[in-house]
Structure 1
Amino acid sequence: MPSNKAELAARLAATQPGDAVRGLFFKAVFSLIQQKAGLAALEQVRVGDLAKDYSDLRTYSVREFLNLLYVAADALEQDLGTEDAVYHACGESNVTRYSTGPGMLIFGIISRGDPQKLFSGAQMGYSAAVTYGTREYVTTGPKSGTLRVRRDMLPPAYHEGILTGALKVLGLKGTAKAHPQGIDRVDYDITWE
């Protein structure tokens, strides 16, 4: 089933001029498409605005990235399942790539393997990756917390993938459950073992 283009239109409408994301996230999604669906599927995705060469540290329009996520959902649904499953996989692959590049400082030095420290630094981590939105973390227990994300128009399942992927990077198992408050406002309850 094709990705939800009405939802994409609503997410695109929530963007503002200057909202941008680092090129490494585009490249991670391209890599996931090629790995799971093959080179032919990637070539079908890499057309129009998405045909350019992306530099890891340069920023590109979040509108392009949103379009990429929805095209990726169409390209990967046969291999990964539902639209949300594809977004989750994209988020997880992106945080894995980020943690070994620009995010090394946050994952390695600041968090020191502690999820509470990692998620408390979410605003700093996201600010190194995107130019929009705010993130506030509240500890709710020894192995849980809530990340309040505002003015971020990416699909909630994508961020669930980022958050559970971040736990995996730390060597932990856990979950992140989205509680949408609006198209660009979501609270994520995070728990881990």
Structure 2
Amino acid sequence: MYVSTEVSGGGAAWELEQRRLAATDDDQARGMFFQGALHVIACLGGEGAVARCKGVAGVWEINPFHLYPVSRYLRMVSTAARLLGPGSRGFDEVLLRMGAQASVDFLSSLFGRELLAETMGSPRTLVEAMGDAYRMAVSYGERYPQWTGERSVRFVMRRDFMPAVYHVGVLRGALESVGARDVRVRGRQVALLESEYEMSWR
């Protein structure tokens, strides 16, 4: 397994704040991602960090299928960056774990189980369906594959609010869920809300 988090300052709290300021009230994400991020925060920082992040984001009771403003999610993650970054292997590692958790949570949901049933264990079919999968999970952005080989692809995300390293965790987890081996994922931030991912597997 190979993972690259080639991102310029992707985990910095200040950059997350810039992303938050670019979001509108119509830009929303499902509660399962809030819960997943809080699970990682609890593992790394304890319940005190969880309470702090919930309070800053203004979310206490979370319905995993309800849509919440992504600006609140970004406020939560930005707070976690300040709290957890110095005590871990850097906040990029925290974001990678949050992305991996998001993949697990989505794929275990009703939406995710339907997606996995439709792909029938094919990584290529899964990648083709990822744009639709993201649309089930969040209300914003555009995502699509550009194939570079039978088992290699450039995956483009436009107007997405999370740093590239977060989606490295998401995409790696998704590919491994359908049995892809030797998964390689490299993320590159093109602009504040635009990123690209080189993925390959066997």
Q: TM-score, normalised by structure 2?
A: 0.86
Unmatched segments (≥5 aa) in structure 2: 1-10
Q: Could you list the structure 1 runs, at least 4 aligned residues long, displaced by more than 4 angstroms after superposition.
A: none
Q: Distance in 2 between matches of 1:72 and 1:171?
A: 32
Partner of 1:105: 114
Q: Distance in 2 between matches of 1:37 and 1:17?
A: 29
- Correspondence 1:142 to 2:145: no
Please say if residues 14 and 183 of structure 1, whose CA atoms lie closer than 8 Å, have aligned partners that are also in contact.
no
Letter of the 2:189 partner, please give it.
P
Q: 1:179 aligns with which of 171, 188, 194?
A: 188
Partner of 1:157: 165
Deviates more, 1:171-180 or 1:183-192: 171-180
- Correspondence 1:32 to 2:46: no
Q: Distance in 2 between matches of 1:44 and 1:174?
A: 35
Q: Tell which has more relative contact order, 1 or 2 (C-alpha 8 A, sep 6+).
A: 2
SS at 1:103's partner residue?
A: helix
Partner of 2:52: 44
SS at 1:81's partner residue?
A: coil
SS at 2:156's partner residue?
A: strand
Q: Distance in 2 between matches of 1:39 and 1:5?
A: 20
Please say if residues 187 and 197 of structure 2, whose CA atoms lie closer than 8 Å, have aligned partners that are also in contact.
yes
Please say if residues 33 and 75 of structure 1, whose CA atoms lie closer than 8 Å, have aligned partners that are also in contact.
no
Change (3 A) 1:154 1:52: same
Q: Distance in 2 between matches of 1:83 and 1:51?
A: 22
Partner of 1:93: 101
**1:153 offset after TM fit, Å?**
1.8
Change (3 A) 1:45 1:10: closer
Partner of 1:10: 18
Letter of the 2:128 partner, please give it.
S
Q: Distance in 2 between matches of 1:191 and 1:38?
A: 36
**1:144 offset after TM fit, Å?**
1.1
Q: TM-score, normalised by structure 1?
A: 0.90
Please say if residues 56 and 76 of structure 2, whose CA atoms lie closer than 8 Å, have aligned partners that are also in contact.
no
Partner of 1:21: 29
Q: Distance in 2 between matches of 1:41 and 1:96?
A: 22
Q: 2:127 aligns with which of 93, 106, 119?
A: 119
Residue correspondences, number:
190
Q: Kindly, what percent of the aligned residue pairs are identical? A: 25
Q: 2:199 aligns with which of 169, 190, 193?
A: 190
Q: Distance in 1 between matches of 2:140 and 2:127?
A: 18
Letter of the 1:185 partner, please give it.
E
Letter of the 2:152 partner, please give it.
S
Please say if residues 53 and 77 of structure 2, whose CA atoms lie closer than 8 Å, have aligned partners that are also in contact.
no
**1:49 offset after TM fit, Å?**
3.2
SS at 2:133's partner residue?
A: helix
Unmatched segments (≥5 aa) in structure 1: none
